Structure 1
Amino acid sequence: METSDKSEPEVVCWRDGALDGACLASARYGNHKFDRHLHDELVIVMTEAGAGQCHTRAGSEIAGPGSVLVFGPGEYHSGEVWEGREWIYRAIYLDMEGIGALSAVFSPDARADKPLLIPPGLYQDPHLAGLLVKAHASLDERGCVSLMERQANWWAAMGMLVGRYGRPAEEPVETRREARKMEQVREYVAANYERDISVDELAELVGLSRYYLTRAFCKTFGLPPHAYATQVRLLAAKRMLAAGHTAATAAAAVGFYDQSHLNRLFKRAYGITPGAYAALKPGH
């Protein structure tokens, strides 16, 4: 991780009671690198100034003003401020409730287990980016903008996003045997992340060698099992911090060695410390 000597990152997060399942954030980063990590929400990022370079399994892309960057739930990514300068952006995090609300409005015939999908990627769309920024900014000024106007801005922006790029989630194709086993391993790790699970335990679970299991898991999900377990622990720690637990309590509960271990990995992944995240503006 590299952090600018000029200033610390500035990140503000909040919720608006007018929206279902949406968390909002405004951020400014100087020279900073984000370690590979994931979110359990759909993430929509609109750059206001500067640029960020983002890396996914599909490759690397540079998000600048006029672009909309989308990450799917569970999609691993990393990145850095482009050329070490500055990246100022607004972001929307939609959990499954929020995605379901979009589906109910814009795709009412979609099944509950097959909600609307915004394919991940970088969209160079200044019109859409401007509308999303306008909606986001009005939600950042709750005391000055009426509820009706905030909701109108939000649904206009979401309507354009879904209308241009949304599509119903496709029925899965017949899953290969190896893929089913890797999904079984991932679910097992997610259910037992508090423990220090061995590769031998996972290999025995699905009847594969340790070497083959590690290679197949990495090929399927983009990172080895131990790195996935770390990401699950970080997400669990975020939920505990948001619920009011201390960093020390969260670190112990989710399986990190100690609080300093959580602090180091949390900041490398999300750009702020657990303490700073816990102190972010509470929801409304």
Structure 2
Amino acid sequence: MHAHFERHVYHRHSHETYSFGVTEDGYQAFRCRGDAHTSAAGMVIAFNPDDPHDGHAADELGFTYRMVHIGPELVSGVLADMAGRPAGLPLFASPVVSDPVLARNLRGLHAALLGDAPALRRDELLTATVGAMVDRAATRRPGTGPAGGFVERARRRLEEAYLDDIGAAELADAAGCSRFALYRGFRRAYGMGPSDYQRQLRLRAARRLLAGGGAIGDVAARTGFADQSHLTRWFVRCYGMTPGRFQRAG
């Protein structure tokens, strides 16, 4: 959810999910667990499942915020991956947290969920955000399991099927490790997440096809990009030139 409210008032309610949000502008006031709270721009909101709360703008200027709802089963799965064993659910003692790192993580996750981010990237951001929320704001911080020799298997799987929309669970299963261990180990080995590595493989394939004289739109479609502009955007970011200029330079 991404919304701006000025006069709207939330009646007291609760959710079955964990609800993590970030106030982008203004001030929002609410009561949760019997206490009054205010979240200002840049602050993070963390509601446990079944936490009753209301909400309204603290002044006439209103407020803008983003909110992500994540089911307990999904949170439990992420934490089990991190711990390498079954893990209890976290408890967030304070519904308002001032932490720029968490705010940045939540913005990135929200944008990926609403946009057209690949499945692998969405899964990575979800895992990273849940892990950060638990580590930095929850009263329970499960331990993490050791990394194993699985990174090479994950890399081979990506190279064999770099055009596929592979999710984190599928890639971790192919590598024989947890999603969290995969993400952490891959970044340690290659300095980037699996989704970034997958995109690099697609860009390299695009370079080969472009060097062979392929039409840019056709190359984009054949290498896993949404369209020509999508390929061009990432090509410029990674290589400092457009695909057309690359072809002309070759």
Normalization by structure 1: what TM-score?
0.45
Change (3 A) 1:57 1:149: closer
Match of 1:88 in 2: 64
Q: For structure 1, list consecutive stretches of 5 or more residues without a partner in the other structure.
A: 1-24, 170-284
In the alignment, structure 1 residue 139 sits paired with structure 2 residue 113: yes
Q: For structure 2, list consecutive stretches of 5 or more residues without a partner in the other structure.
A: 142-250
In the alignment, structure 1 residue 154 sits paired with structure 2 residue 126: yes
How do 1:33-52 and structure 2 match up within 5 A? 33-52=9-28
Maintained 8 Å contact 2:25/2:40:
yes
Q: Post-superposition shift, 1:37?
A: 1.5
Maintained 8 Å contact 2:6/2:60:
yes
Q: Provide the rounded CA distance (Å) in 1 between the counterparts of 2:51 and 2:121.
A: 33
Query: Sequence identity of aligned pairs in percent?
Result: 23
Change (3 A) 1:118 1:110: farther
Maintained 8 Å contact 1:32/1:84:
no
Q: Provide the rounded CA distance (Å) in 2 between the counterparts of 1:74 and 1:149.
A: 29
Maintained 8 Å contact 1:51/1:86:
yes
Match of 2:33 in 1: 57
Q: Post-superposition shift, 1:116?
A: 3.1
**Structure whose CA Rg is larger:** 2
Superposed CA RMSD in Å reads: 2.1
Normalization by structure 2: what TM-score?
0.51
Higher relative contact order (CA 8 A, sep 6+): 1
Give the one of 86, 100, 104 matched to 1:130.
104
* Aligned positions, number: 141
How do 1:53-202 and structure 2 match up within 5 A? 53-111=29-87, 114-142=88-116, 145-168=117-140
Write the letter of the residue equivalent to 1:146.
P
Q: Provide the rounded CA distance (Å) in 2 between the counterparts of 1:54 and 1:147.
A: 34
Q: Post-superposition shift, 1:52?
A: 0.8
Change (3 A) 1:38 1:32: same
Q: Post-superposition shift, 1:67?
A: 0.9
Write the letter of the residue equivalent to 2:44.
V
